[in-house]
Amino acid sequence: MKAALEEVKRDSKNPDAWLRLGSAYQALRQFDDSIKAFRQAVELRPDYPAAIAALAVALTNAGRSGEALPLAREAVKQSPDDARMHAVLAFALVEQGLTQEALSEADRALELGPAEAFVQVVRSEALRSLGRVDEAFEAAKAAADQHGDDPSVLRLLARAALNAKQFGAAEDAARRLLALDVAADQGYLLLGLALSQQNAFRDAENAFRKGLEFKPDEPELLNGLGYVLALQSRYQEAEPLVRKAASLKQSWYILGTLAVVLIGLADAYKDKELFAEARDVLNNAVQLTLSDTADQDEEAKLYLQRGYANARIGNVEAAKHDFRTATSKARPMSGVGLAAGRNLRRLNTSPWLTPSPPGWLPHGVAVCATVLLVFSSVLIAIGKLDSGAYAAIAGATFIVVFAGYSLPSVTRLKLGVVELERVAGPLALPHLEIVL
């Protein structure tokens, strides 16, 4: 970094110097600074496809793939036979959700540069975005066989293995990544996630905490720790961690973790306000998935959780809609899809899901009871009713009034007898970051 800065100071009109500075910033994940440096290189030399592609990658890494896409297309136009230019375009297309075109560009890149690590990484990510997780894992393994000491390839392999539910392979890739760099925060994140999926909760917790020693305010690690605590139903410990993560970074999977924590607390405290907050958090998470390439099952979890929250606060029709959506979005016969289907069936067949009584009903019952008691007193006064009959009427009236005022409380519990299922929050996998 120091050498790159000194080079730019010596020759600020040299686009190559700015390109090297941007690459140094990007290696440190300082994306805003890398974008400025790459943009300066492009301004100095507009016909510099390597700088244009680097700027597109930096923008995509920073979550600005909409800006990156036209730049990536321009890089391909200027250098159509360069495998890396096609891979850069594929990377931006993946992040824009244009998955089929992304795979076509990635395949073209592979034809032009089959040994390029960057090309192999992007092609695996394109396959994952299409839901072809097993193929993506195989592509990542092939890349790791050729480039086993490349951190970006090992990050890819760990991610692809997690998506393919090859948790042992994910753990191995994460440990290899940490062997290269003991302070790699994504290494601890991926290791913690891999261990959590193998129910090694204590080891997963230690991995996240170790990563936080190096980066105390890293939102991905804070969310990961909250995620594994939530898996153990330690919601009170998880809540401040995940709230902090959500304040630092707005992403659908962090909000998904927060919602799971809130629902867990709401179940424990029978607190409808927490259910309502969870629903609102999930509304935001769902909106964020519209501009992201979320895994099918992971996205379906958001709808399953929202359906659960809606059901618990009495929004039965909204809950049914969410469960239907979760079923349609999840992969066939996946656990989240089956759970949503069972919840939907239970809501449809439950005899307890009657409409809540109107709020005026208990007051109306009380007024009628008061009138009855006054009328009975008049009958006693004129000798038409004896004291025993009056006592019976008074006792019955008290029971009716008590029942009238208890009815709303009773019906608020009507969903308690419907055994609704929910699953863990979405797997807290961050965006893949690539260095060109």
Q: What is the CB neighbour count within 10 angstroms for residue 237?
A: 14
Residue pLDDT, tens place only, 238-253: 999 999 999 999 889 9
Alpha carbon of 16 to those of 13, 52, 78, 81, 85: distances in Å? 9, 12, 17, 21, 17
Is the model's pLDDT at 401 over the cut of 70? Answer: no
pLDDT at 413: 36
Is the model's pLDDT at 381 over the cut of 80? Answer: no
Mean pLDDT on 295-306:
89
Q: What is the C-alpha end-to-end distance of the chain, expressed in Å? A: 17
420, amino acid identity: L
Is the model's pLDDT at 184 over the cut of 60? Answer: yes
Is the model's pLDDT at 416 over the cut of 50? Answer: no
pLDDT at 415: 38
pLDDT at 2: 75
Q: Got the DSSP string for 232-274?
A: TT-HHHHHHHHHHHHHH---HHHHHHHHHHHHHHHHHHT-HHH
Residue pLDDT, tens place only, 249-265: 988 999 999 999 999 99
- Among the ranges given (21-25, 56-60, 189-193, 398-402), the one the predictor scored with the smallest mean pLDDT: 398-402
**Cα(89)–Cα(56) distance, integer angstroms:** 8
Is the model's pLDDT at 400 over the cut of 80? Answer: no
% the chain with pLDDT above 90: 53
**Cα(213)–Cα(199) distance, integer angstroms:** 23
Q: Which of 24-38, 197-211, 384-398, 416-430 has the highest mean pLDDT?
A: 197-211
Query: Which of 99, 24, 81 has its CA nearest to residue 54?
Result: 24
Mean pLDDT on 1-22:
84
Mean pLDDT on 8-21:
87
Mean pLDDT on 326-341:
89
Mean pLDDT on 214-223:
94
- The CATH H-level superfamily of 1-131 is Tetratricopeptide repeat domain (1.25.40.10)
pLDDT at 368: 72
pLDDT at 411: 40
> How buried is residue 333: exposed, middle or buried, by Cβ count under 10 Å (0-12/13-18/19+)?
exposed
Backbone angles phi, psi at 270, to 5 degrees: 55, 45
- Among the ranges given (83-92, 278-287, 289-298), the one the predictor scored with the smallest mean pLDDT: 289-298
**Cα(436)–Cα(121) distance, integer angstroms:** 11
- pTM for the whole thing? 0.76
Is the model's pLDDT at 417 over the cut of 50? Answer: no
- Domain residue ranges in the chain: 1-131, 361-410
Alpha carbon of 161 to those of 139, 371, 435: distances in Å? 11, 73, 20
Is the model's pLDDT at 222 over the cut of 80? Answer: yes
